[in-house]
Amino acid sequence: MSMSRGRRLLIEFGLVVGALVGWRRFSPYDMPALTERLGGDLAKLWSFPYFTIGNLAITPAFLVKVFVYVVLLALLSRSLRYLLRERILTQTALGEGQRFAVERGVSYLVILFGVLIGLESVGLNLTSLAVIGGTIGIGIGFGLQSIANNFVSGLILLVEQPVKVGDRIEVEAVSGRVVKVGIRATWVRTNANRVIIVPNSEFISNRVTNWTAGDQLVRFAIPMGVSYGSDPKRVRQILLEVARAHPDVLGNPDPDVIFIGFGDSSLDFELRIWTIKQVQTPKTITSDLYFATFEAFRQHGIEIPFPQRDLHVRSISSPIPISGAEPARLPA
């Protein structure tokens, strides 16, 4: 019988915790003693120092131990994220975006403290990393500005949450639903089921339209035009009947119709409706209402105009050539 993903992650979590608990029982200097039975040459190769950082010798044994520690730390972070997402945060009143922020924040903290504990456990003095930190800072200043900017912007998005998982947003030319807020970029899924990866810094430095920042209630405005011979009050009544007949248009707040003005060839109206169910598909509900409006206008004899131009010739001083006919002659 196959094991469920949740149970498998719980078992991994227990193994990782047990491995990390026993981690401090060994130091990098114990590894050569454990390899003496494998032979002198192999033991020398195993404990050969490539270079040193302070009093810490970087040997193959140390590198293997670091690799194992990093793998265990990654498994621990993933297991904690699963526990929070599937077992703990679902029992709270937090929204989807807030649960995602807590899950990510805890994961980052686990990795950060795990790295610090690992460095202390091998006897590395953290103050000796000041030079390395300064070098990294210079690198960030010259060539990694965008990476650092996106990382800090990602932290701001997780803490402040102007944009969170589940929101429908518009930034620059991208419109869709936020499905993931990562360290470097945010994933936005469009209505065409395409995922567009947007750098986090664009959400901080640019103007972003968040349709669902407060709640899932959204109003759409749909423009309409009718001929000048139509009765505006009758048009308003038909549009309201069409809107109220749609199952996804809310009755509270009630839809309304605004008379915008007099166009070049039409009386211009705007049908404004509220919806919750079709927040992520505005073009679909707009199309449904256009179909229904067209049918209703045709049944009631209301004309939908198209642009027209009238040409008035006031005077002419020369003959007008007509194809297939003799040129017209003006009287003397």
Of the spans 72-86, 90-104, 270-284, which averages the highest pLDDT? Answer: 270-284
All structural domains of the chain with their residue ranges: 5-124, 152-210, 218-299
pLDDT digits (tens, 9 = 90+) for 282-329: 889 999 999 999 999 999 989 888 766 666 666 666 666 666 555 555
Note the pLDDT of residue 258.
93
**Among candidates 19, 18, 39, 43, which has minimal Cα distance to 31?**
43
Q: Higher pLDDT residue, 191 or 96?
A: 191
Note the pLDDT of residue 1.
46
* CATH level 3 topology of 152-210: SH3 type barrels. (2.30.30)
CB 186 within 8 A of CB 198: yes
Rounded Cα gap, residues 196 and 175, in angstroms: 9
Phi/psi at 128 (5° precision): -75, -10
pLDDT bracket for residue 255 (50, 70, 90) = very high
Read off the pTM. Answer: 0.54
Query: What are the C-alpha distances in Å from 100 to residues 89, 94, 113?
Result: 9, 10, 20
pLDDT bracket for residue 67 (50, 70, 90) = confident
Is residue 269 over pLDDT 90?
yes
Note the pLDDT of residue 107.
81
Phi/psi at 278 (5° precision): -110, 40
Note the pLDDT of residue 183.
78
Average pLDDT over residues 224-229: 90
Average pLDDT value for the chain: 77
Note the pLDDT of residue 80.
82
Note the pLDDT of residue 174.
84
Note the pLDDT of residue 8.
64
Note the pLDDT of residue 274.
92
CB 228 within 8 A of CB 266: yes
Rounded Cα gap, residues 26 and 76, in angstroms: 20
Range in 18-22, 191-195, 200-204, 234-238 with the lowest mean pLDDT: 18-22
Topology alike, domains 152-210 and 218-299: no
Q: Which CATH number fits domain 218-299: 3.40.50.920, 3.30.70.100, 1.10.1200.10, 3.50.80.10?
A: 3.30.70.100
Rounded Cα gap, residues 241 and 233, in angstroms: 13
Which residues lie across from 188 on neighbouring strands?
178, 196
Is residue 246 over pLDDT 80?
yes
pLDDT digits (tens, 9 = 90+) for 75-91: 888 888 888 877 787 77
Is residue 4 over pLDDT 50?
yes
Q: What angle do CA 237, 241, 246 make, to 5 degrees?
A: 155
Which residues lie across from 155 on neighbouring strands?
none
Average pLDDT over residues 135-148: 66
Is residue 279 over pLDDT 70?
yes
Is residue 171 over pLDDT 80?
yes
Range in 125-134, 154-163, 270-279, 288-297 with the lowest mean pLDDT: 125-134
